[in-house]
Amino acid sequence: MRVAAIYDIHGNVPALQAVLAAIEAADVDMIVVGGDVAAGPMPVETIELLRSLRCSTRFVRGNADRNMVEVFDGEREAGDCDGWPAAQLTRTDRDFLEGFEATVELDVDGLGPACFCHAVPANDELTVTAATPEHAMHEALAGTTACLVVVGHTHMQFDRRVRDWRVVNAGSVGMPYADRPGAYWALLGPEVALRRTDYDFVAAAASFRQTGFPHREVFARQVVQPPTAEEATAVFERRAGR
């Protein structure tokens, strides 16, 4: 099976459209959407586009998806990043997010059994990066027997070996931390190919500024000029106390 892994869309419809066009040309058997799809400036439009996919697709639940459902249900206080997007949802949109899986396991051509999760297999918020010490990575990955673990959450691509595992971060479609703007994703089978797709960042940023998303200005600026992976890694590792 040949798989396209797309993570952390965060309501960026123009980026998602560009990546889906690239995936169509890549002739994959399955798309795995790795969570955090709608917490951003275009939540409903993103969900509508994902629901319309004709390719076989599996959905992994991210922490932002879970939070939006809890806000919609009145079980969580609305925050700056999830309150407005959750308020845009219909019951059908909410049920779509609720239906996401905690993890997805597939046998990928040339790579073997793969576990697709949002952050780590047993936790959708635990942060791991390319710089996370091996002992911390080992603890985070314990519990899965898959030889390949595909993650997102930190919005940065990496491909590293940790003992018996190969850990691949597919990057972020909608809000990457990288040296160049773009929509980042991964093509898996028979090799691991970390991909970057161009789109019209300036036009996308202008469209985000027309929405009611509270962080639309920051989001728009970061789409055009994202923080670097090096900068973001330092922040994540510091927050994790590592």
**Which residue segments constitute the domains of the chain, with CATH numbers given?**
3-239 (3.60.21.10)
- Residue 79 corresponds to which amino acid? G
Please report the pLDDT score of residue 211 as a whole number. Answer: 98
Instruction: Give me the DSSP letters along 88-151.
Output: H--HHHHHHHHT-BS-EEEEETTTEEEEE-SSBTTBSS----TTS-HHHHHHHHTT---SEEEE
- Pick the more confident residue, 29 or 143: 29
State the number of CA atoms in the 13 A half-sphere of 152 facing the CB. Answer: 34
Instruction: Report residue 161 as tokens.
Output: 């070996």
165 within 8 A of 7, measured Cβ to Cβ = no
Please report the pLDDT score of residue 197 as a whole number. Answer: 98
Confidence of residue 142 (pLDDT cuts 50, 70, 90): confident
**pTM for the full predicted model:** 0.97
Q: What is the pLDDT of residues 6-47, one digit of tens each?
A: 999 999 999 999 999 999 999 899 999 999 999 999 999 999
Average of pLDDT values for 207-233?
A: 97
Q: What percent of the chain has pLDDT over 70?
A: 100
Please report the pLDDT score of residue 77 as a whole number. Answer: 85
Confidence of residue 233 (pLDDT cuts 50, 70, 90): very high
Please report the pLDDT score of residue 67 as a whole number. Answer: 96
Please report the pLDDT score of residue 236 as a whole number. Answer: 95
Average of pLDDT values for 94-120?
A: 98
Please report the pLDDT score of residue 208 as a whole number. Answer: 98
Residue 98 pLDDT exceeds 90: yes
CA dist 61 and 70 (Å) reads: 13
- Residue 9 corresponds to which amino acid? I
Q: Sort strands 165-170 and 148-151 into parallel, antiparallel or unpaired.
A: parallel
The mean pLDDT of the chain is 96
List Cα–Cα distances, 63 to 35, 102, 206, 239, in angstroms: 8, 10, 27, 17
